[in-house]
């Protein structure tokens, strides 16, 4: 029997496929997993995957990507899947040719009619007996992915080629998977991984698979939570807090780490009490959710945990330039140098330069360069020149973020041949001929980064790019964060149904006007039980309710460190 798991990134398909393999082995079945432990078992397939994920290969077209991915699956079939099936084993695959149809057809927009014959040729007539589609809301999948990156120590601002297209790609891929499942209900089993513990989903999948192995058919195609509570349809601004924390209670029972992660940046006593309750189990996660918060309770928690999780405490400081933040960074430098330096962007204080000089003595030139974003003085430029000599091109490019002028653009131009994406990140918020030209050049190759680079801009060119990108991906709305002007509101209202979580998060820091309340109510009334929406709405409301004086002195957390959707 051949079983394939499909789903968007972050759906949980890899975890569930490995759980199924382990359970079937305990039941006495011989099982081969073509992606055991998350790694492709065919070495050639692994090499091909590295190529298709390389974000620097911006010229790779959608058809080239498709053929390479099909070649990867064909190699997995020839080297792993077909031999296992010939031995009479149960073979489990984490992705198969359906993924290429969903990505290239649904995600990239290539004609399905042209893709299907290629996949049929690659399959050699071997298609799964059962396809388990692990379906999940993209907003929730994205949160799980970010939490997974943090746990694995991966940088939050790195992107695969798929990532460069923006979060809208996952939405379109999901829609393509669901369309394929509806067309072939006897082969596809849809399991929703939104609000049930993994062990429950595992058991339901095991029951369905064993039924197939024993010649019995599953009774239903879609497996949904059996006891899902009915959610009231009416949501008001006044009821958001209660509804959010009720949802968080339910999530905490299933995914406690994710429940803590969703507290990121939330002000107020209720959120802080949750952090304190989580400190014993998840000290690092709890303190990381303080990014952007500078109330006394937040500082007390940082100081309490400084010796326990110094790296996480340093990261929780964001880019705050306050004396208290700088004193804590100086204290934490020995244990968390990279995180301390990352918080020095736009900071040219004497304390910041003392930390940079120490880091240079410690031979941490790359981290020092990253800390120079927004710093424009002779010392900073001499360090950039040293970085070019050492061929740290990406770090030098990132050090130019927030800077403009002929000297800066000349260096950017020279760095383009080494790392175009790093240069693109460096023009965030800039309106210049160089920045605008680079955005137009890369708009079809790295839409996510192009749109994010528009943050804070209110030019006609910026809004034209947003309008062009908003139909495809949420990052067009991300770039509206904090903008309170007619064209920004028009975009929010036009795309509230397509990108609801992002529309909500873009309101953070704005006053709670009648128009804002109406938009929040409209979004939540359409999906009153979706926790990511409740979370973002609560964050907007709680932030707006803070004293204006407190908001005026609080530095804005960097986009790279915020927990947002």
* Angstrom distance (rounded) from CA 172 to CA 106: 5
pLDDT at residue 562 greater than cutoff 80: no
Number of domains comprising the chain: 1
- Report the pLDDT value the prediction gives residue 196, as an integer from 0 to 100: 85
Using one digit for the tens of pLDDT, what is the confidence trace for 42-90? 999 999 999 999 999 999 999 999 999 999 999 999 999 999 999 999 9
pLDDT at residue 552 greater than cutoff 90: no
* Angstrom distance (rounded) from CA 208 to CA 192: 14
**pLDDT class of 157 with cuts at 50, 70, 90:** low
* Angstrom distance (rounded) from CA 283 to CA 260: 10
* Angstrom distance (rounded) from CA 483 to CA 506: 8
Please give the angle made by the CA atoms of 565, 531 and 268, to the nearest 5 degrees.
80
Q: At what angle do helices 323-332 and 296-305 cross, to 10 degrees?
A: 10
Tell me, yes or no, whether 80 lies in a domain.
Answer: yes
**pLDDT class of 155 with cuts at 50, 70, 90:** low
Cα 163 from chain centroid?
A: 8
> Which structural domain, as residue segments, surrounds residue 41?
2-223
pLDDT at residue 480 greater than cutoff 60: yes
* Angstrom distance (rounded) from CA 280 to CA 286: 9
Q: With beta carbons less than 8 A apart as the criterion, state whether 475 and 461 touch.
A: no
Tell me, yes or no, whether 97 lies in a domain.
Answer: yes
pLDDT at residue 536 greater than cutoff 80: yes
Helix (H, G, I), strand (E, B) or coil at 104: helix
Helix (H, G, I), strand (E, B) or coil at 130: strand
**pLDDT class of 195 with cuts at 50, 70, 90:** confident
Poorest-pLDDT segment among 233-237, 384-388, 440-444, 526-530? 233-237
Q: Which stretches does DSSP call E strand in 173-265?
A: 188-192, 222-223
- Report the pLDDT value the prediction gives residue 165, as an integer from 0 to 100: 94
Tell me, yes or no, whether 218 lies in a domain.
Answer: yes
- The sheet carrying 222-223 orders its strands as 31-33, 90-94, 2-6, 130-135, 188-192, 222-223
- Report the pLDDT value the prediction gives residue 537, as an integer from 0 to 100: 96
Tell me, yes or no, whether 466 lies in a domain.
Answer: no
- Report the pLDDT value the prediction gives residue 513, as an integer from 0 to 100: 94
Tell me, yes or no, whether 61 lies in a domain.
Answer: yes
CATH number at residue 85: 3.40.50.300
Beta bridge mates, 431: none
* Angstrom distance (rounded) from CA 272 to CA 380: 38
For 311-327, give one letter per residue: b (16+ CB within 10 A) or e.
bbbbbbbbbbbeeebbe
* Angstrom distance (rounded) from CA 409 to CA 387: 17
Which sign does the torsion angle of CA 421, 343, 364, 155 carry?
Answer: negative
CA distances from 26 to 5, 29, 30, 158 (A): 20, 7, 9, 38
Cα 318 from chain centroid?
A: 18
Q: The tokens of 93 are what?
A: 């695959």
Helix (H, G, I), strand (E, B) or coil at 40: coil
pLDDT at residue 361 greater than cutoff 50: yes
Report strand pairing: 31-33 vs 2-6. Answer: unpaired
Tell me, yes or no, whether 373 lies in a domain.
Answer: no
Poorest-pLDDT segment among 11-20, 92-101, 121-130, 227-236? 227-236
Q: What is the mean pLDDT of residues 435-451?
A: 96
- Report the pLDDT value the prediction gives residue 227, as an integer from 0 to 100: 46
Helix (H, G, I), strand (E, B) or coil at 337: helix
Tell me, yes or no, whether 198 lies in a domain.
Answer: yes
Region of residue 346 (left: phi > 0; alpha: psi -120 to 50; beta: else): left
pLDDT at residue 551 greater than cutoff 60: no
pLDDT at residue 127 greater than cutoff 50: yes
Average pLDDT, the chain: 92
Higher pLDDT, 222 or 417: 417
Neighbour count for residue 97 (Cβ, 10 Å)? 25
CA distances from 89 to 1, 3, 82, 364, 478 (A): 7, 11, 10, 52, 48
- Cβ neighbors of 276 (< 8 A, separation 6 or more) are 286, 301
Give the residue among 496, 489, 487, 474 at the shortest CA–CA distance from 564. Answer: 474
Please give the angle made by the CA atoms of 535, 536 and 540, to the nearest 5 degrees.
120
- Report the pLDDT value the prediction gives residue 138, as an integer from 0 to 100: 94
Using one digit for the tens of pLDDT, what is the confidence trace for 492-519? 999 999 999 999 999 999 999 999 999 9
CA distances from 80 to 32, 76, 514 (A): 8, 5, 60
Dihedral pair phi/psi, residue 223, rounded to 5°: -100, 115
Tell me, yes or no, whether 370 lies in a domain.
Answer: no
Using one digit for the tens of pLDDT, what is the confidence trace for 365-413? 999 999 999 999 999 999 999 999 999 999 999 999 999 999 999 999 9
* Angstrom distance (rounded) from CA 371 to CA 396: 10
Q: What is the mean pLDDT of residues 99-125?
A: 97
- Report the pLDDT value the prediction gives residue 236, as an integer from 0 to 100: 84
Rounded to a whole number of angstroms, the CA Rg of the chain reads 25
Greatest distance between any 2 Cα atoms in the chain: 76
* Angstrom distance (rounded) from CA 107 to CA 356: 44
Higher pLDDT, 296 or 236: 296
């Amino acid at each position: 029997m051949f079983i394939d798991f499909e789903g968007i990134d972050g759906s949980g398909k890899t975890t569930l496929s490995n759980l199924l393999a382990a359970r079937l082995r305990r039941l006495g079945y011989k099982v081969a997993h073509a992606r055991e432990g998350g790694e492709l078992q065919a070495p050639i397939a692994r090499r091909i995957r590295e190529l298709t994920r390389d974000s620097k290969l911006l010229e790779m077209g959608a058809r080239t990507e498709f053929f390479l991915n099909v070649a990867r699956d064909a190699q997995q079939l020839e080297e792993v899947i077909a031999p296992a099936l010939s031995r009479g084993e149960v073979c489990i695959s984490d992705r198969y040719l359906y993924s290429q149809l969903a990505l290239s057809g649904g995600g990239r927009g290539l004609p399905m009619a042209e893709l299907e014959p290629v996949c049929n040729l690659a399959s050699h007539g071997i298609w799964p007996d059962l396809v388990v589609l692990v379906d999940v809301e993209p907003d929730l999948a994205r949160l799980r992915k970010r939490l997974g990156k943090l746990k694995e120590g991966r940088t939050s601002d790195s992107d695969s080629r798929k990532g460069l297209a923006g979060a809208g790609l996952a939405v379109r891929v999901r829609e393509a998977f669901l369309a394929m499942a509806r067309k072939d209900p006897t082969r596809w089993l849809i399991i929703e991984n939104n609000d049930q513990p993994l062990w429950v989903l595992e058991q339901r999948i095991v029951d369905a698979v064993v039924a197939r192995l024993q010649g019995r058919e599953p009774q239903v195609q879609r497996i949904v939570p059996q006891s899902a509570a009915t959610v009231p349809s009416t949501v008001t601004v006044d009821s958001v807090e209660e509804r959010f924390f009720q949802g968080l209670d339910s999530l905490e029972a299933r995914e406690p780490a994710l429940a803590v992660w969703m507290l990121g940046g939330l002000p107020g006593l209720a959120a802080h009490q949750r952090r304190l309750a989580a400190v014993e189990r998840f000290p690092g996660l709890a303190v990381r959710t303080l990014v952007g918060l500078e109330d006394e309770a937040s500082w007390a928690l940082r100081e309490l945990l400084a010796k326990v999780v110094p790296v996480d405490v340093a990261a929780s400081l964001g880019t705050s330039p306050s004396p208290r933040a700088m004193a804590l960074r100086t204290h934490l430098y020995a244990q968390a140098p990279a995180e301390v330096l990352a918080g020095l962007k736009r900071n040219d204080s004497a304390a910041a330069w003392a930390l940079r000089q120490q880091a240079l003595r410690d031979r941490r030139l790359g981290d020092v360069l990253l800390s120079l974003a927004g710093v424009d003085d002779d010392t900073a430029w001499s360090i950039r020149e040293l970085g070019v000599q050492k061929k740290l091109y990406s770090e030098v490019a990132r050090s130019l973020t927030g800077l403009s002028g002929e000297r800066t653009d000349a260096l950017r131009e020279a760095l383009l041949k080494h790392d175009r994406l790093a240069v693109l990140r460096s023009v965030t918020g800039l309106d210049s001929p160089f920045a605008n030209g680079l955005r137009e050049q890369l708009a079809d190759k790295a839409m996510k980064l192009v749109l994010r680079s528009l943050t804070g801009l209110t030019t006609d060119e910026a809004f034209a790019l947003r309008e062009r990108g908003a139909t495809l991906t949420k990052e067009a709305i991300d770039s509206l964060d904090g903008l309170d002007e007619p064209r920004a509101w028009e975009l929010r209202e036009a795309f509230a149904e397509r990108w609801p979580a992002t529309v909500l998060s873009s309101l953070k820091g704005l006053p709670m006007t009648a128009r804002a309340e109406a938009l929040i109510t409209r979004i939540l009334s359409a999906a009153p039980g979706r926790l990511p929406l409740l979370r973002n709405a609560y964050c907007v409301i709680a932030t707006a309710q803070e004293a204006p004086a407190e908001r005026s002195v609080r530095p804005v957390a960097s986009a790279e460190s915020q927990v947002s959707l």
